[in-house]
Structure 1
Amino acid sequence: MDFQDKKAIYLQIADYVCEKILLTQWPPGERIPSVRDLGIELEVNPNTVMRTYDFLQQKAILFNKRGIGFFAADEAAERIKSYRKEQFLETELPYFFRNLYLLNISLEEIEQRYKAFIESEFNPNKVV
């Protein structure tokens, strides 16, 4: 995984975990990779992964069954969407609007590109 300098690594890993849950690659109620396994997969210190898992537990996205491992909560997708929506609206959207204004990009152009993006990235009939 390529990490960015502007955001803490544990938060970037949290985004990764949340995306896996939202894409149902790690379904609610099922065990997710162990701290050690995810650390190896992402090439980070297990302590960093543990910090991520603790953070996501505080958000009630993950829960721990002692001695068994971590699991995605049944309501994880809804909680992730709520958390990420809040983050997006507060931090990214104002910057996005500023660029739209400065670059004179119309909402119609954004809508057209958004539809094309969804079609190319999330089309269930797309052959991979």
Structure 2
Amino acid sequence: MEFKDSQAIYLQIADYICEQVLLNKWPAEERIPSVRELAVTLEVNPNTVMRTCELLQQQEIIYNKRGIGYFISSDAIKKIRQYKKQAFIAQELPSFFRSLYLLDIDLEELKPHFEKFKKSNFK
């Protein structure tokens, strides 16, 4: 995984885990890879992964079964979408809307592009 300088690594790992859940690669109530496994896979310090797990546990996206590992919460998808939507609206949408306004792009113009994107990326 290539990390960006613009965001803390533990937050980028949280985004990665959330994406795996949203793509149903890691289903609800399933065990996720261990902290050590994730650290090796992502080439980061296990303490960084642990910080990610603590964050996701606070948001009730994952939970810990002592001695077994971390598991995806039954309502993780709902919680992730809620959290990600709020972040998207607050952080990314203002810049997006500014570009639409400056380039005089109507939202209706974007619909075919969005449909094409969905078909080519999420079959």
The equivalent residue for 2:15 is 15
Q: Which amino acid aligns with 2:93?
A: L
Choose 38-47 or 106-115, whichever is displaced more.
106-115
Q: Percent identity?
A: 57
Structure 2 unaligned blocks of 5 or more: none
Task: Give distance in 2, aligned partners of 1:77 and 1:108.
Answer: 28
The reply to whether residue 115 of structure 1 matches residue 102 of structure 2 is no
The aligned length equals 123
Write the mapping of 1:38-53 to structure 2, written as runs, cut at 5 A: 38-53=38-53
Q: Deviations over 1:27-85 (max 9, x none)?
A: 11110000000010011111100000000000000000010000000010100000001
Structure 1 unaligned blocks of 5 or more: 124-128
Q: Deviations over 1:65-114 (max 9, x none)?
A: 01000000001010000000110111111111011111222212211110
The equivalent residue for 1:100 is 100
Write the mapping of 1:76-87 to structure 2, written as runs, cut at 5 A: 76-87=76-87
Task: Give distance in 1, aligned partners of 2:111 and 2:72.
Answer: 33
For residue 24 of structure 1, report the CA deviation from its aligned partner.
1.1
Normalized against structure 2, the TM-score is what?
A: 0.97
Normalized against structure 1, the TM-score is what?
A: 0.93
- Give the root-mean-square deviation of aligned CA atoms: 0.8
